[in-house]
């Protein structure tokens, strides 16, 4: 999953600074929320503001770089395994599980770009392409409903990632709604109980699902 704007190769020292800034960004967003100042991120990374702005023009570019790295590290290996799996449906749900796990871990990063459709498209295109491949394979194998479209999958993912806004940071409360989605799109409901129910935190305020920012592969 590559960033929409390609980066030029960096010198070793510059690459180390970029790595430190991205690592600090994830830490700061987790600790302080989506509105954390860039100066705080630079201080945490141990670099000056000028170094940060030399590598990232604004907060959005930094957030996308951090999201891109985490998707590459945590979701891409799962996608590779899923595409190689003879059971396409099982592979599809492993990909969805890894995406939800990453979304929960970096909820504040997603919140920082929520609603910016054109910005997220560049780092999620290959994810949707892989999901499309797995969906078609699963339908051909008879394990996924034949009437499910990629527009349906896009909206289901948007709803699932919106679940992150209704749970405590780092929680795995998303497992129950993901299981419900699996029950809905498989041709045969899995013979297993639903994951435990997790109450919605009292202080939670509903927000727009971050995946609403993505490009619908069929609707354009």
Closest to 110 in 3D by CA, of 5, 204, 214: 214
Pair 29, 106: CB distance under 8 Å: yes
- What is d(CA 93, CA 143) in angstroms, rounded to the nearest whole number? 12
3-state secondary structure of 186: strand
> What residues make up the domain containing 51?
11-56
User: Does any domain span residue 219?
Assistant: no
Q: What's the mean per-residue pLDDT of the chain?
A: 84
> Does the predicted model carry a pTM greater than 0.85?
no
Query: Has residue 2 been placed in a domain?
Result: no
Backbone angles phi, psi at 144, to 5 degrees: -120, 145
pLDDT in tens, 114-140: 655 555 565 677 889 999 999 999 999
* Domain shared by 98 and 71, yes or no: yes
Is residue 1 a part of any domain in this protein?
Answer: no
The string of pLDDT tens digits covering residues 84-94 is 999 999 999 99
Task: Assign 127 to helix, strand or coil.
Answer: helix
Same domain (yes/no): 51, 65: no
Asked if 126 and 199 sit in the same domain, the reply is yes
pLDDT tens for each residue of 34-75: 889 999 999 999 999 999 999 998 888 898 889 888 888 999
CB atoms within 10 A of CB 51: 17
Token match 């951090």: residue? Answer: 66
* Long-range Cβ contact pairs of 20-26 (< 8 A, separation 24 or more): 20/45, 20/46, 20/47, 21/45, 21/47, 21/51, 21/52, 21/55, 21/56, 21/62, 22/62, 22/65, 22/66, 22/69, 25/62, 25/63, 25/65, 25/66, 25/109, 26/66, 26/70, 26/106, 26/109
Give residue 2's pLDDT.
39
Per the CB < 8 A criterion, the answer to whether 156 and 183 are in contact is no
Residue 220 forms part of a structural domain: no
pLDDT of the residue at 168: 83
Predicted local confidence at residue 214, as pLDDT: 53
Same domain, 129 and 183: yes
149 located within any domain: yes
Shared domain for 194 and 90, answered yes or no, is: yes
Query: In this predicted structure, what is the pLDDT of residue 5?
Result: 42
Quote the pLDDT of residue 37.
92
Q: Are residues 32 and 97 in the same domain?
A: no
Residue 16 sits in a domain of what CATH number?
A: 1.10.10
The residue that leads in pLDDT, 213 or 63, is 63
């Amino acid at each position: 999953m590559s960033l929409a704007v390609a980066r030029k190769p960096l010198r070793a020292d510059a690459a180390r600074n970029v790595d430190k800034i991205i690592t600090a960004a994830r830490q700061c967003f987790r600790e302080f929320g989506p509105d954390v100042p860039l100066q705080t991120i630079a201080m945490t990374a141990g670099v000056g503001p000028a170094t940060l702005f030399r590598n990232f023009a604004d907060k959005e570019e930094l957030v996308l770089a951090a999201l891109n790295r985490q998707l590459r590290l945590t979701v891409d290996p799962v996608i590779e395994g899923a595409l190689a799996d003879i059971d396409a449906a099982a592979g599809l749900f492993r990909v969805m599980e890894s995406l939800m796990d990453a979304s929960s871990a970096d909820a504040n990063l997603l919140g920082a770009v929520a609603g910016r459709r054109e910005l997220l498209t560049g780092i999620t295109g290959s994810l949707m392409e892989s999901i499309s491949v797995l969906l078609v394979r699963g339908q051909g194998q008879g394990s996924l409903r034949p009437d499910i479209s990629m527009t349906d999958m896009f909206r289901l993912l948007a709803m699932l990632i919106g679940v992150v806004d209704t749970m405590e940071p780092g929680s795995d409360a998303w497992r129950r709604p993901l299981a419900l989605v699996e029950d809905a799109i498989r041709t045969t409901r899995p013979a297993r109980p639903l994951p435990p129910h997790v109450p919605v935190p009292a202080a939670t305020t509903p927000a727009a699902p971050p995946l609403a920012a993505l490009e619908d592969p069929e609707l354009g």
